[in-house]
A and B are shown apart, each in its own frame.
Chain A
């Protein structure tokens, strides 16, 4: 059974960089797209972007200038960096697997709450 687990700081100061890592277990990281999705308090889900196991990325245009994703296939991990954060970036961040760009997200991490506050 594929499992995803997010890790990283739960509190980030305004203007700093949010960094999260997702570790994949129980399955291969190859041949899949790996995505970050967030849910701000009281709001719906927002797609942040995805990275293919080869390193190809695609980001939400609204966040593109602040987002960097990377993948480490040897450690079966992929990561998210979101720079210059503000309170509007406070959200539950989920990592998820998607077989292809047009597919549904079939496996999700449990989510991690990141609060932006001084």
Chain B
């Protein structure tokens, strides 16, 4: 059971928009700690996709965007492409744990 809750899977057709939710609690997201998102392609290491709730590292397309409100955060992907098919994870800091917490991961399928 992960501290941050994500849907196990989402899907969409090429060109469509999908969102992935990440729900936490008052000891992590709700406490004001930043949320970060990762994309993990099969057989590779996770790659930082969004940091500080809504910022994109250099090289990440602007089709990817993040937002945060209250105890939840969301990752939105517009203009879906086949190459976006991957696992996506959210991450934050938890004051009860004293360290990083991750969501269980969401598998994105591009139909």
The answer to whether the Cβ of A104 comes within 8 Å of any Cβ in the partner chain is: yes
* A47 near B101: Cβ-Cβ < 8 Å: yes
Beyond the given A61-B98, A103-B36, A104-B91, please list 19 additional residue pairs across the A-B interface where CB-CB is below 8 A. A37-B100, A43-B104, A44-B104, A45-B89, A47-B102, A49-B99, A50-B99, A50-B100, A58-B98, A60-B99, A98-B100, A102-B93, A103-B34, A104-B38, A104-B48, A104-B50, A104-B51, A106-B57, A108-B45
Cα–Cα distance between A50 and B45 once the two chains are bound (Å) = 18
Q: How many residues of B contact A (CB 8 A)?
A: 26
CB contacts (< 8 Å) of A61 on chain B: these are: 97-98
* B91 near A105: Cβ-Cβ < 8 Å: yes
The answer to whether the Cβ of B103 comes within 8 Å of any Cβ in the partner chain is: yes
* A104 near B102: Cβ-Cβ < 8 Å: no
**Which of A43, A60, A98, A110 meets B45, CB within 8 Å?**
A110
Q: Which 10 A-B pairs have the closest CB atoms?
A: A104-B36, A104-B51, A108-B45, A47-B100, A44-B105, A44-B104, A45-B102, A102-B93, A104-B48, A111-B45
